[in-house]
Amino acid sequence: KAGVTQTPRYLIKTRGQQVTLSCSPISGHRSVSWYQQTPGQGLQFLFEYFSETQRNKGNFPGRFSGRQFSNSRSEMNVSTLELGDSALYLCASSTRTGGDEQYFGPGTRLTVT
Partner 1 sequence: AQKVTQAQTEISVVEKEDVTLDCVYETRDTTYYLFWYKQPPSGELVFLIRRNSFDEQNEISGRYSWNFQKSTSSFNFTITASQVVDSAVYFCALSDRAGTASKLTFGTGTRLQVTL
* Residue 104 sits in the site that holds partner 1 (CB under 8 A): yes
Measured from the CB of residue 97, what is the shortest distance to partner 1 in angstroms?
5
Phi/psi class of residue 42: alpha, beta or left (left: φ > 0; alpha: ψ in -120 to 50)?
Answer: left
Given 81, 94, 110, 112, the residue binding partner 1 (CB under 8 A):
94
Stretch that binds partner 1, among 16-24, 47-55, 66-74, 79-87 (CB under 8 A): 47-55
Determine the Cα angle at 75 with ends 74 and 80, to 5°.
160
* Residue 67 sits in the site that holds partner 1 (CB under 8 A): no
Q: Which of 57, 60, 51 is nearest to 94 (CA)?
A: 51
- Note the residues at the interface with partner 1 (CB under 8 A): 31, 33, 35, 42-45, 48, 50, 55-56, 58, 88, 90, 92, 94, 97-107, 109
